[in-house]
Structures are given as C-alpha cells and as structure tokens.
Amino acid sequence: MTIFLFIGLKRFIACLQKFCFKLFFIFFHFFSFTFFSYICKLLFIIMNFIKRLLSRCKTEERVDVGMKYLIVGLGNCGEEYAETRHNCGFMVVDAMAKEAEATWTLDRHAYRAEMRLKGKQITLIKPTTYMNLSGKAVNYWLSKEKVPLENLLVVVDDIALPVGTLRMKKQGSHGGHNGLRNIEELLGTNAYCRLRVGVGAEFSRGRQIDYVLGKFSAEESAKMEPCFAEAVEMVKCFVTQGADRAMNLHNHK
C-alpha cells in the first residue's frame, strides 16, 4: 500500500510542476504580479508538504522491510590483543562480516559493519572503548539505530565454559565479566541476550588476566575454528528465528 501511495504522489508532483509552469504564463498575461506571487507561494507550500510526505513514506517503507538487530562482539582493540581468548566476541563478528562481505568502518565508540539477512537489518559493532567500558558503545548504538533491547545480542568469552562450547542466554548476571558488568550498568538491566563462547579455565590461582589475554594453544585453536563457525550460525538463527529457537538448536552442542 505504501509503495502505491509513493508512486501516486510522485506522479502528482510531476503533474503539479507542469501545471505551475502553465499557470505562470496565464497569470503573467492577465493578472498583477503581486497576486501571481501569492499564488506561487501557495503552490510551493503545497509542493513542499507533498515532498515531506513522500520522504516520510520512504522512511516507513525502509522500516517495514525488516526489523533491526545489533550484534556486539566484545574485545579489546590493538594488535597486542588480536586473537586472544578475551577477543572471542571480535572474532565471531569478524567471521560474520567476512561471510557477508561487509566492510568495517571506524565510527563513534566502535568499528561498525552493516549487513542484511532475510529482510533483517543487522548492525555489527566492535567497541573501541576497551572491554571495561563496552556499555558506552552498546548504549550509544542501541539508541542510534533504534534497536529494541530484545534484538540486542552480545557475544562474549566465558571462562566458566569448556573451550569451544557455546551457550546462549536471554538474560543473566555478568558473572564477573567486566564487559557485561559495564553493559548492565549503562543499560540499567541484565535482560538482554548474550552468546557465551567457552575459553576454559586452565590457569593457576592469580593468573586469570594473563590467561584471558593470552592466545589459544594449537590444540585449543583446533577446537575454536569450528566453534566460531557454529557461533556465526547461532547468531544468524537468533536474527531469523529468535533466541528460543537458537538455544534449542545449538545450546546442547
């Protein structure tokens, strides 16, 4: 219906423009310049109103195409953090962007990439605020893109899960993870979906920071490669079929 209205209004504007030119010559020959100027102003007001209406129709058409989703990969920027356990979130959204041939651009508080999937508009972000201030980027892009909270998915590393294990939850505590803690503080809620990527807990007491900021061993990398591929499918399922379906299909693996 919106498309037909849009086409009809475009044709109406074209006809109105032709009418204005004809009216110009008529009034130029038979009426005073002052009266003619008033008529012109009135016509221009009408045309501007119709143009604004057309612009609104375009916006509504874009919104109707599909719902918006925000997928956040948590991690730390910088070469020294690349491919570390703490950057699992970055690696998952990188894999998604690569598959969709989406390009990363540096934007406010984050690297951002746009993609579409079965009519859904997806914004991928990698916060540049560092892990402990991830909420700043999440809060900004949720508001900027007008994404409903239920369409937010945060991908995060988790030492409480064995290496290569995936678990999606619709809400929950931050579990001591500083990135999730900051997101919860700034959003004022923990009722958002998160995909936890298991990195194991093979470290001695007091060595947790060194462990999560370290890179995977060769044995671990062999497990993580199919894990990241499965994580991409899980995120896609979240977008196209919902969190419950994604959890039912993938959480048991």
Determine the 3-state secondary structure of 167 from DSSP: strand
* DSSP character at residue 216: P
Answer yes or no: are the C-beta atoms of 122 and 116 closer than 8 Å. yes
Out of 86, 109, 177, 250, which one is annotated catalytic? 86
What tokens does 184 get? 């919860």
Distances (CA, A) of 167 to 6, 171, 200: 45, 12, 13
Pairing outcome for strands 152-158 and 68-73: parallel
Counts for the chain of helices (H) and strands (E), in that order: 8, 7
Question: H-type helices in 68-170, by residue range?
Answer: 88-100, 134-145
**Is residue 86 annotated as a catalytic residue, yes or no?**
yes
By annotation, the residues acting in catalysis are: 86
